[in-house]
Amino acid sequence: MTRSRWLAQTCSDALDRALGLRFVQEVHTGVISDQAYADYLLIEERFVETATRLHGLAVWDAPDRDALERNAAAAYALTTEQTDYFRAARAAWPVPSGLGPDALARADRLSAYALDTARAGGYPAVTTVMFAAEILYLTWCTRAHQQGTVRPGPIGDWVALHARDPFRAGVAALAAQVDRLTVPDDDLVRWFTGMLDAEVEFHDAIYT
CB 43 within 8 A of CB 164: no
Contacts of 37 (CB under 8 A, 6+ apart): 93, 154, 155
Contacts of 87 (CB under 8 A, 6+ apart): none
pTM for the model: 0.96
Tens digit of pLDDT per residue, the chain (208 long)?
A: 999 999 999 999 999 999 999 999 999 999 999 999 999 999 999 999 999 999 999 999 999 999 999 999 999 999 999 999 999 999 999 999 999 999 999 999 999 999 999 999 999 999 999 999 999 999 999 999 999 999 999 999 999 999 999 999 999 999 999 999 999 999 999 999 999 999 999 999 999 8
* Separation in Å, CA 39 to CA 42, 72, 103: 5, 29, 10
CB 188 within 8 A of CB 181: yes
